Structure 1
Amino acid sequence: MRIDSVSLEAVGNQVPTVRADNVSEFFMRITGHALDVVYGRPAAGVRVRLDGATADGWQAIARAETDDHGHLHDWADDRLDHGAYRMVFDSDSYFANLGLSAVYPEIAVVLVMLDATESYWIRVLLAPFAYTVSFGSSR
């Protein structure tokens, strides 16, 4: 789905609905950020996979790595449809590259994208024996 423009329409007390027309600044997108809490720095080089839900289960639709600042920008301009998505952070390979072992091989975060004008972000704090995930959105 590609949204080229967005107009909001409200009728009475109903929630506004989104109608696509011809402007390209609003569309659903997702980004990520990984931080290494062992060394207190961005987690650069974490491999991340984006899966989309299908009738047959999860299907990989994109792959990327975090940059030197731990950010995942590769998908920021991808236009996504409404639906369920899963971001999978490869913690096992990240810690193996540091000479450490993690008790969990990956971190999977599932979310449902509902609003065509919303930007979603996932932040993961990594340690070999624990992790924390935070989720946010911005309109």
Structure 2
Amino acid sequence: MSTDTTASVSTHILDTSAGRPAEGVAVRLSARAGREADWRELGGSATDADGRCKDLPAPPEGTTHVRLDFAVEAYFEETAKKQADAQQDAPANRDSGAAFFPEVAITFAVNPGEHYHVPLLLNPFGYSVYRGS
């Protein structure tokens, strides 16, 4: 929950290659107070069945920048394994199911008292983010 002196952050991930939420992706949140300050890891969570992280830690007072680190490689490996198991007689895909980007790190500026929802639109070969609501 946000107060007048802190920001709050939430995120969700949509796997655009599958057309559904990305479940089970580990997400870590770090913060710093000023662009020259060191990053401080605050903790993390994993996406639920709706692709949402509802319990990320609140950045401390004085935070000016936040970084979300998404560990997507394991998600794509698991997704590829499930697809292979479900389609064992289907022709082999042209790739191994490994993600081109094994990690996605998103850094953004924050202001006290504001909420920042940062959705990640993800596929094995690219991603995009935006400030949501």
Q: Which band: TM-score by shorter chain? A: 0.7 to 0.9
Aligned alpha-carbon RMSD (Å): 2.2
Find out whether 1:92 has 2:73 as its counterpart: yes
1:61-115 Cα shifts (integer Å, max 9, x gaps): 111001100011112x73532311100111111101112211111111101211x
Sequence identity percentage: 31
Which residue number corresponds to residue 46 of structure 1?
25
Find out whether 1:71 has 2:52 as its counterpart: yes
Compared with structure 1, are the counterparts of its residues 48 and 102 closer, same or farther at alpha carbon in structure 2 (3 Å cutoff)?
A: same
Q: Which amino acid aligns with 2:130?
A: S
In 2, Cα distance between the equivalents of 1:104 and 1:66? 18
SS in 2 for 1:68: coil
Selected match of 2:103 from 81, 103, 106: 106
TM-score by length of 2: 0.74
Superposed counterparts of 1:1-139, under 5 Å? 3=3, 27-53=6-32, 57-75=38-56, 78=58, 80-81=60-61, 82-99=63-80, 100-114=97-111, 116-136=112-132
Decide which structure has greater strand share: 1
SS in 2 for 1:94: helix
TM-score by length of 1: 0.71
Compared with structure 1, are the counterparts of its residues 79 and 49 closer, same or farther at alpha carbon in structure 2 (3 Å cutoff)?
A: closer
Query: How far off its partner does 1:59 sit?
Result: 2.6
Q: Which runs of 5+ in 2 are unaligned?
A: 81-96
Give the count of matched residue pairs: 113
